[in-house]
Structure formats: structure tokens, C-alpha cells
Amino acid sequence: MTKRSYEIDQMISAKAIAARVEDLAREITAHYEGTEKLVVVGLLRGSFIFIADLVREIGLPVEVDFLEASSYGDAMQSSREVRILKDLRGEVAGRDVLVVEDIVDTGFTLSHVTALLRSRGPKRLEVCALLDKPSRREVDMKATWTGFTIPDEFVVGYGIDFAQSNRNLPYIGKVRFTEDT
Ligand code: IMP
């Protein structure tokens, strides 16, 4: 009998992630310099580690809020239909906003979420994504800041899951399927 299991190969080390997060935070701090307060919106659940590291490197007053949109569920297929499962607690009208996402894949999630938040009239709204898989894009969507551009691989770690596992890996790894006999 064959059993399908998987192994994880490291793709981006914890050290490389930390260095890139510092760069991103420096650029974000310069961009919003002078802001009264930056509303940093993390998209749950994949961005929770990235946002925690990023806000600690941002040299501005920040407010942290979270929004949850439906994405892959427990499968590896993206869905075109994006639903808001948990909305923000705070207001974004007239405020400086930064949306923080783990991965831009087809682009459906971010285009839906940014359209929703823009309809609420923020003063400025930008997007920071840790990873970008441009070869998978189906809608025109580009983050203002991207940590790493990666090929079309299924990745896990640093907050990102495969069927709700592996979020706690300190690095980004790619999933490699193996057949056990
Ligand atoms: P999009 O709407 O297709 O851009 O999907 C974005 C969401 O899909 C991300 O926020 C992730 O939650 C999920 N996703 C996309 N690629 C991967 C991956 O390689 N591993 C785990 N989740 C992924």
C-alpha cells in the first residue's frame, strides 16, 4: 500500500527573513513618516508572525488590527470567491493604513480586501506582502512592498500553513510530496 506524505525543504532561512523584515520596516517607516498613527492590518491567519516581527521594526506609532478572509480552507486550491470571516475592530476612514499579507498567489484575496478597505475612505492604503508568486497571478494585484518573490511552490512556515500545520517553523520551507510504500 502506498501512503502519501511530505517533507519540507528549507527555502528562506530565519536569518534571511529577519534581515528582509528590517529592510521592509525601514522603507515603510520612511514612507509614512510624520503620520499620526499607522493602522497595520494583518490578514489572518498566515500573517500573524510576519506582522509581529514587522511592527516591532516600524519606528512610528502603530495600531494593530486584524481581518480574516476565507482562502484555501484546508486544501491547496485557491478559491475565487473571497468572504470576510472577521472584520476589523477599528476605523480606517481618513487614516494611514498598511495591509500585511503572507503570500500573494492568484491575487483574489488582496484585491477583494483592498477594494473593501478603500471603499471606507482611508487617507493612504498600501500593502506589504512577505511572499509573491507572480507566476500564479489571475488578477492584477501588486503589493507596494514584497519581501521575497518565489516560484510556484507550495510553502509553509513563519506563520504559513499546510492544512493547519507547520505555521510554527521559524523559516519558509517548500513542501515536497513523497510516496511511502
Ligand atoms: P490568493 O487569493 O490566491 O492570492 O491567495 C492568498 C492566500 O492563499 C494566502 O494568504 C495564503 O493563505 C494562501 N496561500 C497561497 N499560496 C500558499 C502556499 O504556498 N502555502 C500556503 N498557503 C498559501
The answer for 163, left when phi > 0, alpha when psi is -120 to 50, beta otherwise, is: left
Distances (CA, A) of 84 to 2, 87, 88, 89, 111: 39, 6, 10, 13, 13
Tell me how crowded residue 29 is: count the other CB atoms within 10 A of its CB: 15
- Nearest to 42, CA basis, from 73, 82, 86, 74: 86
3-state secondary structure of 59: coil
Judge whether residue 29 has pLDDT over 80: yes
pLDDT band for position 87 (cuts 50, 70, 90)? very high
Q: Which long-range contacts (CB under 8 A, 24 or more apart) does 145-151 make?
A: 145/24, 145/27, 145/28, 146/104, 147/17, 147/20, 147/21, 147/24, 147/50, 148/12, 148/20, 148/172, 150/11, 150/12
132 or 3, which is more confident: 132
Indicate the domain borders of the chain: 3-180
Q: Which residues are catalytic?
A: 105
pLDDT band for position 31 (cuts 50, 70, 90)? very high
Atom of ligand 1 nearest to the CA of 45: 12
Rounded to 10 deg, the angle between the 48-57 and 14-31 helix axes is 60
| 126-139: pLDDT as tens digits | 999 999 999 999 99
The whole-number pLDDT of residue 163 equals: 93
Our answer on whether the CB atom of 154 is closer than 6 Å to any ligand 1 atom is yes
Tell me how crowded residue 110 is: count the other CB atoms within 10 A of its CB: 23
Q: Which of 77-81, 134-138, 142-146 has the lowest mean pLDDT?
A: 77-81
- Nearest to 82, CA basis, from 114, 103, 112, 43: 112
| From 102, 116, 146, 164, mutation site for ligand 1 pocket: most ligand atoms within 8 A of C-beta | 102
Our answer on whether the CB atom of 171 is closer than 6 Å to any ligand 1 atom is no
Our answer on whether the CB atom of 11 is closer than 6 Å to any ligand 1 atom is no
Q: Distance between CA 80 and CA 129 in Å, rounded? A: 19
% the chain with pLDDT above 90: 89
Class of domain 3-180: alpha beta
Phi, psi torsion values for 68, nearest 5 degrees: -120, 125
Judge whether residue 72 has pLDDT over 60: no
Our answer on whether the CB atom of 42 is closer than 6 Å to any ligand 1 atom is no
| 98-125: pLDDT as tens digits | 999 999 999 999 999 999 999 999 999 9
Look over the chain and give the mean of its residue pLDDT values, rounded to a whole number.
Answer: 94
Ligand 1 center to residue 155 CA distance, Å? 9
**Does a cis peptide bond (omega within 30 degrees of 0) precede residue 167?**
no
Q: What is the pTM of this model?
A: 0.94
DSSP state of 151: -
| From 44, 103, 128, 155, mutation site for ligand 1 pocket: most ligand atoms within 8 A of C-beta | 103
pLDDT band for position 79 (cuts 50, 70, 90)? low
